Structure 1
């Protein structure tokens, strides 16, 4: 079965290479050339507004607002040590009656 599939793939591949082989190579060459040379062109459109590379350009002011500034503690009492907290929630020992 695999030999039959391999023969079909080889036959289809040879037909595709015969028909599209030269066109595909030409298209790939043109695509690579246009991508390579595209980075060498000078932008022709004028900038709208200030030049972003100009350090003296006027920009909007930057503000800062803290996300935790209005925080106030809501604890009703002062914190207690961990030993005291554990003892307050530990169940009382029960006597083992049979």
Structure 2
């Protein structure tokens, strides 16, 4: 049963590849010929002169790339000897 799931798409793929392989160069040639018939695109909007100081311009904004950063370094060293002694296993009393 599982072999049928793989065999059917493989057969369709091979048949599809043979069918469209012949037409690809023809379709590419038609696309190139038709692209020569397309009108040149032009902008209908009037462009403002960049040297004109009266033209309104969007304001330049500034965003810091490290704005949410806060240092996580401790200010002073912690009392390490007391901390170390509090977590060490105690010696059994005999």
TM over 0.5: no
Q: Give the TM-score band, short-chain normalised.
A: 0.3 to 0.5
TM-score after normalising by structure 2: 0.38
What is the TM-score of this pair, normalised by structure 1?
A: 0.37
